[in-house]
A = this chain, B = another copy of it.
Amino acid sequence: MPVELNTADPDFEAAFAALLAARAEFDTSVDPVVADILADVKARGDAAVVEYTQRFDRVHLTTDALRLDDETVDAAAGQVDAETLAALNVAAERITRFHEHQKPTDIAFTDPTGVRLGQRHTPVDAVGLYVPGGTAAYPSSVLMNAIPAKVAGVGRLVMVVPTPDGIINPLVMAAARLAEVDEIYRIGGAQAIGALAYGTGVIAPVDKIVGPGNAYVASAKKQVFGTVGIDMIAGPSEILVVADAGNDPAWIAADLLSQAEHDAAAQAILITDDADFAAAVGRAVEGHLKTLPRTAIAAESWARHGALIVVEDLMEQAPPLVNRIAPEHLELAVGDPDALAARVRHAGAIFLGRHTPEAVGDYVGGPNHVLPTSRGARFSSGLGVLDFMKRTTLLGCDSSALATIGPAAVRLAEAEGLQAHGLSVALRLNMPRPDARDGA
């Protein structure tokens, strides 16, 4: 049974704090195993990758079969039915169009002292996209990770996807084709992350690695961070629904379950101002659970991590709770969602109104579905075009501008005891050498 909380109860604060604190921490137990795999891939390259792929995926590949050739990819993609392919197309187009809006604007101006200032954005050269194999191989995630990279202008987008027992997922191949992935390798696990980070004979190294994966993949990404960039390490999915009694309880129950079905560790929370509605949603969840294929997972998530929270006043009491939870997904299923949204400071994505179930955003809304979990929305953002670009600042002085601002730099360099810093400015200004001035 999910936790039931009511802000009117005297122990509400303690119970709510316990709910926040209960979210799982990252699993570090696999770190040493992963470190060994990474070191081996770094040292032995393709030979190590081939061996681990045989051991973990039960696929024997020669080095030159690590990369999926175009014919294989096209043949697999061709197995996708027309209706699903059309839906993938809708998704790809809407995701592309939204992310085009995220392209940054460069800065360039000359200030009143004559100093030229600027900031410009350039894409990352090469990006690796990890795609899990098996049941968690989601074509929508391929689109959500690959399209922002392509919109950013990434020249080389490399996908790795394990093919356990040799099975290639047609949906993933179709999504990769739609998103214009440039290279696909049939490898996974920590060995694939190592191959992307360090390069092998067959696989040229990339500059940044994104995409979801299991504990081994997450650990490997953390360990290669620095050598390459990485995206956030995702935790279990979460949804927080703020809903009044004007909703159909069956709709809201389905919304809660749409995240609960991802993972037994996922979390679904309802905040409402009507205890009877909360109870009705609870009953509707039980009803849906009787018929859903992923009932075992969803029921465990709901029982272990679910919560029904009743407040007296949604407008006043929900936003502070929302901000403390800082949810990955926030549904505002109320009559005036914008007024509530204006009071929310921390959420990965907000879904406005009664007709915007979170799942529509998972696929075809347009914004990204890769979002910060585990209260990460307090300090981080969903995946976007900026994650595949970087800023370079520009500064330009002529002799007159340097004469204006340079003396302050010399003074501060001396105060910090960095005389070569000061010297580099002072020489250009024909100032006394700071080191001479200090008698050093």
Stretch at the interface among A4-12, A181-189, A354-362: A354-362
List residues 221-275 of chain A with CB under 8 A from any CB of chain B. Answer: 226, 228-229, 233, 248, 250-251, 254-255, 257-258, 260-262
Chain B residues within an 8 Å CB radius of A98: 117
Minimum CB–CB distance for A242 against chain B, Å: 14
Minimum CB–CB distance for A31 against chain B, Å: 10
Cα A377 to Cα B366 in complex, Å, equals 29
Q: Is the CB–CB distance between A395 and B355 below 8 Å?
A: no
A353 touches B (CB below 8 Å):
yes
Most buried by B among A248, A357, A380: A357
Q: Is the CB–CB distance between B424 and A358 below 8 Å?
A: yes
Binary interface encoding of chain A residues 159-197 relative to chain B, with 1 for a CB under 8 A from any of its CBs, else 0: 000000000000100000000000000000000000000
Q: Is the CB–CB distance between B292 and A425 below 8 Å?
A: no
User: Which A residues form the contact surface with B (CB < 8 A)?
Assistant: 25-26, 83-84, 86-88, 90-91, 94, 97-98, 101-102, 105, 107, 109, 111, 115-117, 119, 122, 124-125, 135, 138-140, 171, 207-208, 226, 228-229, 233, 248, 250-251, 254-255, 257-258, 260-262, 288, 291-294, 298, 337, 341, 344-353, 355-368, 372, 374, 376-382, 384, 386, 390-399, 401-402, 405-409, 411-413, 415-425, 427-428, 433, 435-436, 438, 440
Q: Is the CB–CB distance between B226 and A374 below 8 Å?
A: yes
Minimum CB–CB distance for A21 against chain B, Å: 11
Q: Is the CB–CB distance between B117 and A258 below 8 Å?
A: no
Q: 5 closest A-B pairs (Cβ-Cβ)? A: A229-B379, A352-B396, A367-B393, A254-B424, A359-B421
**Cβ-closest chain B residue relative to A422:** B359
Q: Is the CB–CB distance between A367 and B117 below 8 Å?
A: yes
Chain B residues within an 8 Å CB radius of A357: 424-425, 428
Cα A350 to Cα B118 in complex, Å, equals 9
Chain B residues within an 8 Å CB radius of A440: 291-293
Q: Is the CB–CB distance between A366 and B379 below 8 Å?
A: no
Residue from the list B293, B351, B358 in contact with A438, Cβ < 8 A: B293
Cα A65 to Cα B380 in complex, Å, equals 33
Q: Do most interface residues of chain A lie in helix, strand or loop, or is the interface mixed?
A: mixed
Q: Is the CB–CB distance between B355 and A398 below 8 Å?
A: yes
Minimum CB–CB distance for A369 against chain B, Å: 10
Q: Is the CB–CB distance between B344 and A392 below 8 Å?
A: yes
Chain B residues within an 8 Å CB radius of A86: 408, 411
Q: Is the CB–CB distance between A396 and B364 below 8 Å?
A: no
Residue from the list B87, B337, B405 in contact with A364, Cβ < 8 A: B405
Residue from the list B83, B399, B411 in contact with A411, Cβ < 8 A: B83
Q: Is the CB–CB distance between A351 and B408 below 8 Å?
A: no
Q: Is the CB–CB distance between B257 and A420 below 8 Å?
A: yes
Q: Is the CB–CB distance between A401 and B355 below 8 Å?
A: yes
Report if A353-B396 is in contact (Cβ < 8 Å); known contacts: A293-B417, A345-B125: yes
Minimum CB–CB distance for A338 against chain B, Å: 8
A and B contact pairs by CB, cutoff 8 A, 28 listed: A84-B412, A90-B405, A91-B412, A102-B119, A105-B105, A111-B366, A122-B345, A171-B415, A208-B378, A228-B379, A251-B424, A251-B427, A258-B418, A293-B419, A294-B420, A348-B392, A349-B394, A350-B394, A355-B398, A357-B425, A359-B409, A359-B421, A360-B397, A360-B405, A360-B425, A363-B421, A367-B393, A381-B391
